[in-house]
Amino acid sequence: MQIYMPTKVYSENDCVMNHRDELASLGSKAMIVTGKHSSRVNGSLLDVEKALQEEETKYVIFDDIEENPSIETVMKARELGRKEQVDFVVGIGGGSPMDAAKAIALMIANPQEDESALYEEKDLLALPVAEIPTTAGTGSEVTPYAILTIHARKTKKSISHKIYPELALIDSRYLKTAGLDTLIDTAVDALAHLLESYLNTNADSYNRMYSEKGLSLFSDIKEELITCRRQGENPAQTFSDQGFDVLMQMAATAGMAITHTGTSIPHGLSYAVTYEMQVPHGKAVGIFLSGFLSSYQDKKDVQSVLGRMGFATVEEFTKYLDELLGKVEIPEGLWIENVKSIMANQAKLKNYPFQMDKDTLYAFRR
């Protein structure tokens, strides 16, 4: 049994301003890494700028992070970071900017290395990183993972280096401007993290505490999520402040869960679907969760996660997810290739504690 969660986490309203001294203590000049729009709309970028200004800490903004960020983008940001001589990195946004912030922090700290170092087993240190999530999904604010798109291989892959953020500042008010699909897709990503961590080769009674807590948070919020989908309206009209808070806590708890176990087959299957079909990450993972639970051989554990989520059977869970996410029609050719590539990749199967065969995996597609 082993627990290692070195990130300092604060979760409260006005979190960034309340802890601006700790944010500024990470260095003398920050690079803020974010996307083009949402951090401006939800107020998080302004909060970080204000916090750094009050602490008289200089900063430069790199706001060119795309969804599913590429190695090319990371290298472009490194160039700016070197030129500006930044010594810490602040990621603001969903998984894309937060993951990119870690990879950028690694590359700025190691100017002698080129992009190949991202995927090499080398002992490299990164600049300190702070993360400010504005979606409730990835949990990247507390995980050591950074997943980038590799265009040359037409997929996404986590870099080889584990970069734990020094600081995670979580303010659920940033969620209030999220669109319906983003809110639902990212919540399903967090749910997948909880399930894939609990039902995992690396799970033990200690690290399962995170999933157990997270799944019960999901059960508190699942009716609000489906109501949002049915009404097709702005989530802020359905969700209470407390509801947004539960979602943010669930995502961070789920991040802590996968920090200890890694993810499993649904994540492995999702990357090609996202790359080839542009299906958002959470939705691409979510469509495989029913197959994952159905095929899982320890039925007692499956019953345990269903009970914690508040479902009686896998069928009930499947019906709920189908309504929440809708259908994704994966073309036969892509699917056969995907199944083949996962079956040939021991690294992708090692977190699944039982023997997997081609036919069972093929049936994951719904």
The binding site for Fe ion (CB under 5 A) comprises 189
81 vs 255 by CB, closer to Fe ion = 255
Query: Which helix or strand (DSSP H or E) is residue 22 part of?
Result: helix 20-24
128 vs 280 by CB, closer to Fe ion = 280
CA distance 131 to 108: 17
Instruction: Provide the minimum distance between the beta carbon of 196 and Fe ion in the complex, in angstroms, as a whole number.
Output: 9
314 Cβ contact list (under 8 Å, min separation 6)? 290, 293, 294, 302, 306
Contact assessment for residue 351 and residue 263, using Cβ atoms and an 8 Å cutoff: yes
Give residue number: closest CB to Fe ion. 189
- By C-alpha distance, which of 122, 119, 124, 111 is closest to 152? 119
118 vs 192 by CB, closer to Fe ion = 192
> How many other C-beta atoms can be found within 10 angstroms of the C-beta atom of residue 177?
16
Instruction: Provide the minimum distance between the beta carbon of 108 and Fe ion in the complex, in angstroms, as a whole number.
Output: 25
Residue 359's alpha-carbon distances to 206, 235, 362, in angstroms, are: 33, 39, 5
Instruction: Provide the minimum distance between the beta carbon of 284 and Fe ion in the complex, in angstroms, as a whole number.
Output: 9
Instruction: Provide the minimum distance between the beta carbon of 280 and Fe ion in the complex, in angstroms, as a whole number.
Output: 11
108 vs 178 by CB, closer to Fe ion = 178
Instruction: Provide the minimum distance between the beta carbon of 290 and Fe ion in the complex, in angstroms, as a whole number.
Output: 17
- By C-alpha distance, which of 185, 247, 197 is closest to 222? 247
Q: Which residues pair with 89 in a beta bridge?
A: 31, 129
CA distance 113 to 82: 13
51 vs 142 by CB, closer to Fe ion = 142
47 vs 189 by CB, closer to Fe ion = 189
Instruction: Provide the minimum distance between the beta carbon of 178 and Fe ion in the complex, in angstroms, as a whole number.
Output: 16
